[in-house]
Chains A and B, each alone.
Chain A
């Protein structure tokens, strides 16, 4: 039987693929909010990968990083949205 943490590694690999797919929304997304949505998605996926990796590596304390990331990505999202609120015209 494969070790259980192999499943976690596999899941994280899949998340890596999703991250690259979501990154294309950052590249393509016609407006800035679209790119921000892409960034937000990547944030959530990275948090999921970090939690999974923490379990897979048996490194308990790695979960802390996910918490830090969850909070700080929120700050980033707020900053970008605050900037967008003051922007005129949604193009480009």
Chain B
């Protein structure tokens, strides 16, 4: 069985991957202004991975990197939360301070949205996006490895016989 899909699908995949990733990143970093956020953007980025997996039937050897990325995102997330301990955990200590992501809205009510606001909310969006995209890619990677739809790696020992 061939593991790749047809030439048309592969070409369209190659073209679509970059815009999908950009779109996911757009959803993540505009999460505090528009619908979207870390989880949705991460899922969209992971779907680009799924697209590559399905079109080419193989996956690079980045499992450990993805796993580390996931842990890194979550570690930074919880550290961001723990730093707020000056007041309490999860206290938004950046918002309104004026620095990076600490901007203030010129007017309350309806506004077009300013990206340099939100404090820890924006940062946490980024961290969760990192974690979710890596995690969902790992799930896709691991499930596809066992399914027989992918190019077999050499390390997999297929032991399909049934115990009795």
Interface residues of A (CB under 8 A from B): 61-62, 64-65, 67-68, 71-72, 74-75, 78-79, 81-83, 85-86
Are the C-beta atoms of B16 and A71 separated by less than 8 Å? Answer: yes
Q: Determine the main DSSP class of A at the interface with B.
A: helix
Chain B interface (Cβ < 8 Å from any Cβ of A): 1, 5, 9, 16, 20, 23, 27, 34-36, 40, 44, 47, 50-51, 54-55, 148-149
The answer to whether A68 and B54 have CB atoms under 8 Å apart is no
Q: Check if B51 sits within 8 Å of A78, measured CB to CB.
A: yes
Contact assessment for B54 and A82 in the assembled complex, using a CB-CB cutoff below 8 Å: yes
CB distance from B148 to the nearest CB of A (A): 8
> What would 13 more interface pairs be, CB under 8 Å, given A61-B34, A85-B5, A86-B149?
A62-B35, A64-B27, A64-B34, A68-B27, A68-B44, A71-B47, A72-B47, A75-B47, A75-B50, A75-B51, A82-B5, A82-B149, A86-B1
In the assembled complex, the Cα of A37 lies from the Cα of B9 at a distance in Å of 17
Given the contacts A62-B35, A86-B1, A78 and B27 also touching, CB distance less than 8 Å: no
Q: Pick the 7 closest A-B CB pairs, nearest first.
A: A61-B34, A78-B54, A75-B47, A82-B54, A61-B35, A75-B51, A72-B47
CA distance in complex: A85, B148 (Å): 12
A71, B54: Cβ atoms closer than 8 Å: no
Min CB–CB distance B136 → chain A (angstroms): 12
Q: Are B20 and A71 in contact (CB under 8 A)?
A: yes
